[in-house]
Amino acid sequence: MGTLIYDGADGFTFDDRVLAHLQAVIQTKLRRREGFLLIWMDRTAGPEAILRSIWLDPSISLQFVFAKPVLPELNRDWLTILSERANSNSGLMLEDELRAEIREEMPQGSYRESKAKNGKRQNGA
């Protein structure tokens, strides 16, 4: 498990694969000097999960600390999904299902396929 250290104080744990994808998306946004909201269910804070959100901005100090010395390989599809969310008005919502797929606990494409099916149902297809 890696750690995202926010503003020099708070550390939030993520699987190294998830953290590597977040790092790629966050560095792109911050290089463009664009702030955005990151939202996720934090299951490490206690017995019950809490909804956590942090505002990411170029003026705020961030560190990405990985458990292993080699960065995991990045998946272009996941980067696209995360980037689209980071560019949305509601912020980058990092759902548990997407995190599980990135960690390779769910078959690749399962999350995207379920979201595509739900979108078709909502659109009346």
Q: pLDDT digit string (tens) for 1-58?
A: 899 999 887 789 999 999 999 999 999 999 999 999 999 988 887 788 889 999 999 9
Strand duo 2-6 + 36-42: pairing: unpaired
pLDDT at 98 over 80: no
Range of the domain at 29: 2-122
Per DSSP, 15 falls in state -
* Mean pLDDT calculated for residue range 67-92: 91
For the ranges 12-21, 46-55, 78-87, 102-111, the lowest mean pLDDT is seen at: 102-111
Q: How many domains does the chain have?
A: 1
Q: What is the pTM of this model?
A: 0.79
Per DSSP, 71 falls in state P
pLDDT at 118 over 90: no
Q: Which residue has the tokens 């000097």?
A: 33
Question: Whose CA is closest to 38, among 115, 101, 94?
Answer: 94
